[in-house]
Amino acid sequence: MIHVAVLGYGTVGSGVVEVIETNKKDIEKRAAARLNIKYILDLRDFPGDPYESKVVHDYNVILNDPEVTVICETMGGVHPAYEFSRQALLAGKSVCTSNKELVASHGPELISIAREKHCNYLFEASVGGGIPIIRPLNYSLTAEKIDSITGILNGTTNYILTKMDKEGADFEEVLKEAQEKGYAEKNPEADVEGYDACRKIAILSSLMCSKNVRYEEIYTEGITKISAADFVYAKQMNKSIKLLAMSRDKKEGFFAMVAPFMISRTHPLYSVNDVFNAVYVHGNMLGDSMYYGRGAGKLPTASAVVSDVVDCARHPGKTVMCFWENEDVKVADIESDQGKFFVRVKSGQKEEALAAFGSLAEINVGIAEEFAFMTQVMTEKEFNDRIEKIGGCINRIRILSA
């Protein structure tokens, strides 16, 4: 019998209980063990809830119970989740988490404690919700040198951008509607400013390099400056706009970035809409592979947490290999990264833009006050210098190369 404790009885925590109870027979067969939810830690009481009697308020009850060998940390936030996870691992209890903030900030340390104590720190649910992506990187793609990962890793912003694309609406309008429907948080900053996607690409990049990619070093830009007009231009170019989180292992250095990109209809990520997420991975032997599914939500995320519980049950007293060392990766300054840009300037700046950018492709959608164009391939620095020379622009969006 595997005795499990769930930390945090919110959306994901209650989902973990629901997944285990709904699919108990199959899960136990696959785990080759019986599962028992012994405790649920929460500050609140849940009168009338079927699991009311399992709720405890003191973490020490769980920590000091030798029967509990697996802990599902679904609290979110760094503190006290970090202290709780660390204490559990030091006590030899495995931790399965959905907490991307914690994995991105303390992943290598917690993985290394798990290794010393012959238990596990597993985090399939921390990126892409229910999409299996951590396990493929750790197990299935181990014969590959992965040279790029491009992901749509945030459901809220993908929902907003999809709506803007389909309905021609502006950002603020769609955000308000998404908040009213409960799709976007009341404080949407972490999603719309790209911070959530930044944590997630830091985790994937670390697994890609087997070393630590610090999220603080990843250039991050959100979607708040994207307008309905940008989508009019995108449509004219047979493109859409997506918030992409990407990392590239190039000979010039390791680049990572979160930013809105224009993306062609022919790219597989073009069709990833609404709250769905996808991760597009390129390996030097396999070529491209893509992982797609529900990137957020109670049951998809909980399903991924429980898959980690099954992994722990299958490997009692053993650490499932995870290649993520503490050594930091040098993340290159994006100034030297190269690409094409879509640019909108005031019509009065047209001559200056032509002089500064030389060969460019005009995009005309009949907005008289503007001159819009696509640049040639150039570095971020070259682009910024030219934009500065012409006195700024209305907006600019990077273009994903095919």
User: Using CB under 6 A as the criterion, which residues of the chain lie in contact with ligand HSE when the complex forms?
Assistant: 129, 154-156, 191, 196, 295-296
Instruction: Supply the minimum distance, in Å, between the C-beta of residue 204 and ligand HSE.
Output: 13
Whether 200 is a known active-site residue: answer: yes
Instruction: Supply the minimum distance, in Å, between the C-beta of residue 281 and ligand HSE.
Output: 19
CA distance 366 to 327: 52
Please tell me whether residue 273 adopts helix, strand or coil conformation: coil
| Nearer Cβ to ligand HSE (15/129) | 129
Instruction: Supply the minimum distance, in Å, between the C-beta of residue 210 and ligand HSE.
Output: 24
245, 197 Cβ separation under 8 angstroms: yes
CA distance 293 to 157: 15
Instruction: Supply the minimum distance, in Å, between the C-beta of residue 380 and ligand HSE.
Output: 27
| Nearer Cβ to ligand HSE (63/78) | 78
Catalytic residue selected from 200, 211, 242, 340: 200
Instruction: Supply the minimum distance, in Å, between the C-beta of residue 293 and ligand HSE.
Output: 12
Instruction: Supply the minimum distance, in Å, between the C-beta of residue 295 and ligand HSE.
Output: 5
| Nearer Cβ to ligand HSE (160/393) | 160
Q: How many helices (H) and strands (E) does the chain have?
A: 14, 17
| Nearer Cβ to ligand HSE (132/316) | 132
Instruction: Supply the minimum distance, in Å, between the C-beta of residue 316 and ligand HSE.
Output: 30
Q: Please report how many Cα atoms fall inside a 13 Å half-sphere around the Cα of residue 4, on the Cβ side.
A: 28
Query: In three state form, how does the secondary structure of 328-359 look?
Result: ECCECCHHHCEEEEEEEEEHHHHHHHHHHHCC
Phi and psi based region of residue 274 (left: phi greater than 0; alpha: psi -120 to 50; beta: remaining): left
The answer to whether the Cα torsion of 156, 161, 162, 164 is positive or negative is: positive
The answer to whether the Cα torsion of 52, 56, 61, 66 is positive or negative is: positive
Q: How far apart are the first and last CA of the chain?
A: 51
CA distance 21 to 55: 16
40, 51 Cβ separation under 8 angstroms: yes
| H/E element, 258 | strand 253-264
CA distance 140 to 163: 35
CA distance 81 to 99: 8
126, 134 Cβ separation under 8 angstroms: yes
- The residues assigned a catalytic role are 200
